[in-house]
Chain A
């Protein structure tokens, strides 16, 4: 089954404790992105990747890092999480940048 898998689905952590949210897709898509979703703001793009080892900043990249060492994986790293990074995070992949984006089920992160 074609899918984008994020882990974990829920995470509560403390300020400053490094964390990684994993994302994997099995569709051989070139493009992958990370978004955060906050009430009234819709989805805001954090980072995107056009292929292995090629990444670029989205609209809200501050406080986040990404890497794309393999085509199928695109982890999101928060080196020093802060409470304003409490949000619902989605990973998405698409064959090309502007074709249909397939989304994971989301990771609800709470930073206390």
Chain B
């Protein structure tokens, strides 16, 4: 059972479209991170959110942390082919050992020209 459920697992869209990726859990997280991974490389951090209700923007990417700190979303506006990759959410659950990070199963995004 995944503690962090990401949806959708696969997303195939045309350049210029908008999309949202969701990361949900029944557990409360003290912080949540979003990473992007390209083939043959390790994940690279996009953003960290720590406060319930927090919204962070990174150019065309908007990240939101749920009020109850159980869920998060990543919204991409006007997707580009360079956004293609694997998107991973990762969180530290309240009450777990410091440093124990749980990852979702990932969303594979393909943006077609």
Q: Which residues of A contact B (CB under 8 A)?
A: 4, 31, 33, 35, 40-45, 48, 50, 56, 58-59, 90, 92, 96-101, 103-106
- The reply to whether A98 and B92 contact each other, CB–CB distance below 8 Å, is yes
- The reply to whether B98 and A97 contact each other, CB–CB distance below 8 Å, is yes
Shortest Cβ distance from residue B87 to the other chain A in the assembled complex, whole angstroms: 11
- The reply to whether A31 and B99 contact each other, CB–CB distance below 8 Å, is yes
Q: Which A residues are CB-close (under 8 A) to B88?
A: 42-43
CA–CA, A75 to B44, complex, Å? 21
5 residue pairs A–B, Cβ–Cβ below 8 Å:
A4-B42, A40-B105, A42-B2, A48-B100, A90-B42
Q: Which residues of B contact A (CB under 8 A)?
A: 2, 4, 6, 9, 30-31, 33, 35, 40-45, 48, 88, 90, 92, 97-106
Provided the pairs A42-B88, A42-B106, A98-B92 are in contact, do residues A103 and B42 lie with their beta carbons within 8 angstroms?
A: yes
- The reply to whether A59 and B102 contact each other, CB–CB distance below 8 Å, is yes
Closest A residue to B101 by beta carbon equals A45
Of B33, B40, B105, which contacts A42 at CB under 8 A? B105
Shortest Cβ distance from residue A106 to the other chain B in the assembled complex, whole angstroms: 6
Closest A residue to B9 by beta carbon equals A40
- The reply to whether B100 and A100 contact each other, CB–CB distance below 8 Å, is no
Of A41, A45, A98, A104, which contacts B42 at CB under 8 A? A104
Known contacts A42-B103, A56-B99, A98-B48, then 5 further A-B pairs from the complex at CB < 8 Å, ordered by chain A residue:
A42-B104, A42-B106, A44-B103, A48-B100, A96-B98
Q: Which B residues are CB-close (under 8 A) to A45?
A: 100-103
Shortest Cβ distance from residue A87 to the other chain B in the assembled complex, whole angstroms: 14
CA–CA, A104 to B40, complex, Å? 10
Q: Which A residues are CB-close (under 8 A) to B98?
A: 50, 96-98
CA–CA, A97 to B48, complex, Å? 13
Q: Which A residues are CB-close (under 8 A) to B90?
A: 43, 101
Q: Which A residues are CB-close (under 8 A) to B6?
A: 42
CA–CA, A4 to B43, complex, Å? 12
Shortest Cβ distance from residue A37 to the other chain B in the assembled complex, whole angstroms: 9
CA–CA, A41 to B4, complex, Å? 11
